[in-house]
Copies of this chain bind each other. A is one copy, B any other.
Amino acid sequence: MTIPPRRPLTLRDVSEASGVSEMTASRVLRGKGDVSEATRIRVLEAARAIGYVPNKIAGALASNRVNLVAVVIPSLGNMVFPEVLSGISAALEDTGLQPVVGVTDYLPDKEEKVLFEMLSWRPSGVIVAGLEHSEASRVMLARAGIPVVEIMDTDGEAIDACVGISHRRAGREMAEAILAAGYRRIGFLGTKMPLDHRARKRFEGFTRTLAKAGLEIADREFYSGGSALLKGREMTEAILARSPDLDFLYYSNDMIGAGGLMHLLSRGARIPDQIGLAGFNGVELLEGLPLRLATMDACRREIGEKAAGIIAARHADPEMEGGQRIELGPTLQYGDTLRHPRG
């Protein structure tokens, strides 16, 4: 197992080893054009024997085609994005396209850098989380001349295509369900929001709906960083110490909601009657908790699939129109922590 790391092999080496022209070897290795079965086999065997790995850089430059799709997301730690990615991978599976992931840590500047870096590899398409970008990023994307799909969110104006849910609506529907169930003293617990536009939009949709019913958020608590489950426990303890009469806690994500649930269970709270809870995302984790947390599915996998589907379709048919807009409908799950509306 000590193979001398030699000079990288080129098509020329394959050509010499198999006795056909470079062009024919190239055709065989790409599976394009008519090649006789005999030469096909000779080339393939020669390539395998010498251990040829094609140079995609040269191939891409010559053909002006790159089978990569840039995927730009805020974070991998969030549970949410790996699921989007798996939807993307699945949809790209048989298209010859490959996702390449970049992470922005929710920072617009870093997003700009990551986009610049990725676009400089001339990918066949871009999938980027969110509708909020720096002006420079928007210009880059608009000028790139490739399909751009903004995902997760539909509340705003897209550069090109867009697939997601309306977070304002998600917040509104959750508020409606909570009000319909008769809760009135409602607390909100979430991330510090300048970072997270989607959480902010849910919050806006939520508070506006309460306002229409003549209500306000009774108390709130924010966090950033750390173990979300633990933060959920701590924040819940803190908010209830301050406002013991709350009858509902709305969390901006399921992880902190799960933490809050753990806290309330350990206190022996009567859920959902004395106090109700809801999160957001519909993460798989929730299935294992003692009570099922009320939540709203963010259609993560489906978003990934649909976004990748748009890129793939437009890659296959470059004449196709852009500007697709797909708004998915998240569904509310009452679980065991939100009373069903009376009746």
Contacts and interface: CB of A to CB of B under 8 A. Distances in A.
Interface string A135-171: 0001110111110000000000101000000000000
B259 A56 contact: no
Number of copies: 2
A1 interface: yes
B53 A119 contact: yes
A227 interface: yes
Contacts of A4: 143
Contacts of A120: 53-56
Interface stretch (A268-276, A286-294, A325-333): A286-294
A229 B287 contact: yes
A259 B7 CA distance: 52
Given A1-B138, A227-B284, A227-B288, 8 more contacts: A3-B142, A5-B143, A53-B120, A76-B76, A229-B287, A229-B288, A258-B288, A266-B290
Interface in A1-37: 1-8
Q: How big is chain A's contact interface, by range?
A: 35 or more
A279 interface: no
A31 to B, nearest CB: 15
A232 B288 contact: yes
Interface in A21-75: 51, 53-58, 60-61, 66
B61 A140 contact: no
Interface stretch (A81-89, A183-191, A194-202): A81-89
Nearest to A9: B143
A52 B138 CA distance: 14
A85 B76 contact: yes
Contacts of A288: 227-233, 258-259, 262
B86 A76 contact: yes
B227 A140 contact: no
A172 interface: no
